[in-house]
Amino acid sequence: MSESPSSRAAGLLHLRRGGLSRGDAIPLPLTMASIFHAPGDSTGFHQYGRFSNPTWDGTEEMLSRLENAPTLAFPSGMAAISAVFFALLRAGDHILLPSDGYHTTRILADRFLGAFGVSFDTRPTASFLDGGFDGYRLVFVESPSNPTLDICDLAAAAEAIHKAGGLLVVDNTTMTPFGQRPLDLGADIVVAADTKAPNGHSDVLAGHVASRNESVMAAVREWRTTSGSISSPFDAWLLHRGLETLEVRFDRMCTTAERIAPRIKAHPAVRSIRFPGLVGDPSHNLASTQMERFGFLISFELDSEEKAEDFINGCELMAAATSFGGVHTSAERRTKRGDAVPPGFVRLAVGCEPAEELWAAIKNSLDRQLP
């Protein structure tokens, strides 16, 4: 059932082929419409922009092919995560979240789910299986976790969670479907922020939910239609365009990260580093079996907040920005976002610049941080 990454990437670019009539545009047309011609019986075609749109169809077809599962598009990663929570959880449910990982997911649970009678516990990603999963209706994990890049054994977690009667939701944003396939490892639901590498050009927010469980997808679709948590057709069209080059960009980004991570590690201005691709990293062994690539995020610590800021702002080929996965290499000092990391902790998101040019710029800026 599982297709090789290369044949998935090749097929992805020709998905529209079978549905084309003579004279149709080869690229996906952008349909900006809230209403559609709808005389008579109103089933089987587009009716209204909150229910469906032909441009979403093209984008979701690509996302489904990537995930090898039915997929629904959302206007942001958080909209996708919210859809899963609000469509599936009921008063009295307990859920488990990572204590590290993307902070807004915890804020969402803390600020909004409690009011509806849903309570949550947290646990570090690195020891996520310790303590078992009894009593949790839904378990949410992000692996590798943002920003410390700890990982969790997804197949073992899925098995234990299913034995305890729960659902496993994996936030696969840091890896994309070309780097890791949580549904094939046993997860029930994948959520992702397509704002990051899938769009890849830092000009759109987007997200998706994928699952092979029909009742899950029916509930998530009903939530989307009813709540109005929908993408604009233009944003969906831009995401579609980004997805066409995801495999090329992701490959370049991961290859460059593998090349420069050992050099960053060896640089005397660097105190410590986390990258799952480095032999000896706590995530390395599990990453080698569970992931198809090691990703493009590298986290490391400099001596102080000042040195970290100087490094980021002084590097010629680096954008000082939050978020990751765009064509431009970017970096951020993560205490700025409230992550529980040291003040000199930098999350570097490798972009699409040629590797040796990028390394020369990074080395230059690291050299300036030496005492």
Q: Footprint of ligand PLP on this chain (CB under 6 A)?
A: 76-78, 102, 142, 146, 171, 173-174, 193, 195-196, 205, 207
The residue (of 146 and 329) whose beta carbon lies closer to ligand PLP is 146
Q: 83, 220 in Cβ contact below 8 A?
A: yes
- In which residue are the tokens 């149709």 written? 24
Q: How far is the CB of 366 from ligand PLP (least distance, A)?
A: 25
CB closer to ligand PLP, 70 vs 75? 75
120/369 with CB nearer ligand PLP? 120
Separation of alpha carbons 57 and 53, rounded Å:
6
User: Considering the complex, what minimum distance in angstroms separates the CB of residue 325 from ligand PLP?
Assistant: 8
Least distance (Å) from ligand PLP to the CB of residue 142?
5
| Element (DSSP H or E) covering residue 367 | helix 355-367
Nearest to ligand PLP of 147, 269 (CB atom): 147
Q: Which is nearer to ligand PLP, 77 or 277 (CB)?
A: 77
Radius of gyration of the chain (CA): 21
Q: Which residue's CB is nearer to ligand PLP, number 140 or number 365?
A: 140
Could you tell me the smallest distance in angstroms from the CB atom of residue 85 to ligand PLP?
A: 13
Is the Cβ of residue 235 or residue 269 nearer to ligand PLP in the bound state?
A: 235
280-312 burial code (b ≥16 CB/10 A, e <16): ebebeebbeebbebbbbbbbbbbbeeebbbebb
- Helix H, strand E, coil C: the string for 203-259 is CCCCEEEEECCHHHHHHHHHHHHHHCCCCCHHHHHHHHHHHCCHHHHHHHHHHHHHH
In terms of CB distance, is 143 or 365 closer to ligand PLP? 143
CB of 205 to ligand PLP, least distance (A): 5
Distance CA 263, CA 258 (A): 10
Q: Reduced to 3 DSSP states, what percent helix, strand and coil does the chain have, rounded to the nearest 5?
A: 40, 15, 45
Closest CB to ligand PLP belongs to which residue?
77
* Euclidean distance between CA atoms 196 and 325, whole angstroms: 5
**Least separation, in Å, of the C-beta of 102 and ligand PLP?**
4
Quick check: 226 and 82 in contact, CB under 8 A?
Answer: no
The least distance separating ligand PLP from the CB of residue 207, rounded to whole angstroms, comes to 5
To ligand PLP, the closest distance from the beta carbon of 195 in angstroms equals: 4
Angle separating helix axes 5-12 and 246-266, nearest 10 degrees = 140
Spatial distance between the Cα atoms of 167 and 186, rounded to a whole number of angstroms: 10
Minimum distance of ligand PLP from residue 22's CB (angstroms): 39
CB-count burial class (<10 Å; 0-12, 13-18, 19+) for 159: middle
Cβ-based nearer residue to ligand PLP, 146 or 229: 146
The count of other CB atoms within 10 Å of the CB of residue 100 is: 23
